[in-house]
């Protein structure tokens, strides 16, 4: 069984989806720790309710980013996880920590990368009248939302879509696709090779370079 650590900054709804999939044996793994950089994150309450131990490493208590990341890295080393999942973790991590954990750190981002790295992705998709929108899951590098892409979940945007409606639909596919990818990584079906290229085993890519799934929502 793989040891999973989840990093959060907010509500933790994806954390709950991951834990539920572990508990139902859809993921051959266990969330051994939740780490938040924000002591007020609601996800910490979710973790407590789910019986998952948590740790607060408050970035505001450090003089600079390097000190914060050194503390985070030291704690991750103690946990020795097989997989680190950034699920709504709102900090950009530097090259030292991302290079160290490149092959076992993934991030969920709410856009179809390389479109819209950073914040306010749903607003950007709507204001640009995009026909499609979605989420991306990728290995983490020091460049913002730019590590090797693993998978994307795609939805159609409707002409009169409201922001809240889009956010709800995006959350729905997040809660489905992220546990699916974590499950495949834990099985060894998705991994970075020595050239830092993603290998897929027992997964039909349908002649695409990455796994893309269209959701009818």
Tens of pLDDT, residue by residue over 198-211, are 999 999 999 899 99
| Prediction pTM value | 0.96
How confident is the model over 146-194, as pLDDT tens digits?
A: 899 999 999 999 989 999 999 999 999 999 999 999 999 999 999 999 9
Question: Rounded mean pLDDT of 21-47?
Answer: 98
Question: How far is CA 200 from each of CA 134, 150, 189, rounded to the nearest angstrom?
Answer: 21, 9, 6
CA-CA distance, 135 to 153, in Å (whole number)? 5
- CA dist 140 and 104 (Å) reads 9
Q: Which domains does the chain have, with CATH numbers?
A: 2-214 (3.40.50.170)
* Summary mean pLDDT of the chain: 97
Question: What Cα–Cα distance (Å) separates residue 196 from each residue in 26, 117, 140, 148?
Answer: 27, 21, 11, 8
Q: How confident is the model at residue 217 (pLDDT cuts 50, 70, 90)?
A: confident
In contact, 31 and 104? CB cutoff 8 Å: no
Q: Is 109 a catalytic residue?
A: yes
Residue 16 reports pLDDT greater than 90:
yes
Q: How far apart are CA 144 and CA 65, in angstroms?
A: 15
Which residue among 109, 122, 133, 138 is the active-site one? 109
3-state SS class at 83: strand
pLDDT in tens, 120-150: 999 999 999 999 999 999 999 988 898 999 9
Mean per-residue pLDDT for 69-85?
Answer: 98
């Amino acid at each position: 069984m793989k040891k999973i650590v989840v990093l959060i900054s907010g509500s933790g709804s994806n954390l709950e989806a991951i834990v539920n999939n572990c508990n139902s044996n859809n993921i051959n793994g266990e969330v051994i720790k939740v780490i938040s950089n924000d002591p007020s994150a609601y996800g910490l309450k979710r973790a407590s309710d789910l019986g998952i131990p948590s740790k607060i490493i408050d970035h505001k208590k450090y003089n600079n980013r390097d000190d914060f990341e050194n503390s985070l890295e030291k704690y991750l080393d103690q946990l020795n996880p097989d997989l680190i999942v950034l699920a709504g973790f709102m900090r950009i991590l530097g090259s030292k920590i991302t290079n160290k954990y490149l092959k076992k750190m993934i991030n969920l981002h709410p856009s179809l990368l390389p479109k819209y790295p950073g914040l306010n992705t749903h607003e950007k998709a709507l204001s640009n009248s995009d026909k499609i929108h979605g989420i991306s899951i990728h290995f983490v590098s020091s460049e913002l939302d730019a590590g090797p892409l693993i998978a994307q979940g795609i939805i159609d945007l409707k002409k009169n879509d409201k922001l809240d409606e889009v956010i709800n639909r995006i959350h729905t596919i997040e809660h489905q696709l992220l546990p699916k990818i974590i499950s495949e990584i834990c099985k060894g079906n998705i991994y970075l090779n020595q050239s830092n290229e993603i290998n897929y085993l027992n997964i039909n890519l349908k002649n695409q370079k990455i796994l893309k799934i269209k959701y009818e929502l």
